[in-house]
């Protein structure tokens, strides 16, 4: 499956003059399987900080541990992450 996101650099409200990156997942994601689609509906599977899907495995008082994934945890399909502003396959070499 392909996950297309938009990367935005925004001013950090916590630190004046600093910025942070925010990754917004596009809505037209075609999920590889219903299990993963339902998971993302139920939990926030998308990490806005890293621009990847993560699976929440445990929540502690220090924060929660979210391992980022490159493969669907349900069917094992490869997840392709693509920045909408920087498509990987735009530069076609002219003959
Ligand atoms: Zn899947």
pTM, rounded to two decimals? 0.74
Per-residue pLDDT tens digits of the chain, which is 95 residues long: 999 999 999 999 999 999 999 999 998 899 999 999 999 888 778 989 899 998 876 656 666 667 899 999 999 999 999 999 886 665 666 66
Q: Is residue 93 part of a domain?
A: no
* Cα of 31 from ligand 1 centre, angstroms: 7
Task: Count the domains in the chain.
Answer: 1
pLDDT value of position 45: 83
Q: Is residue 15 part of a domain?
A: yes
Domain with 61, as residue range(s), is 2-83
- Cα 22 to Cα 13, 55, 86, distances in angstroms: 13, 18, 15
C-alpha distance across the termini of the chain, in Å: 31
* Cα of 43 from ligand 1 centre, angstroms: 15
Q: Is residue 90 part of a domain?
A: no
Q: Is residue 74 part of a domain?
A: yes
């Amino acid at each position: 499956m392909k996950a297309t996101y938009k990367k935005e650099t925004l001013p950090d409200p916590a630190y004046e003059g600093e910025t942070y990156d925010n990754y917004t997942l596009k809505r037209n994601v075609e999920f590889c399987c219903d299990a993963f689609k339902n998971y993302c509906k139920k939990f926030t599977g998308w990490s806005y900080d890293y621009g990847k899907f993560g699976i929440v495995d445990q929540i502690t008082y220090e924060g929660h541990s979210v391992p980022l994934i490159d493969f669907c945890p349900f069917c094992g399909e490869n997840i392709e992450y693509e920045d909408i502003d920087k498509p990987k396959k735009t530069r076609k070499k002219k003959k």
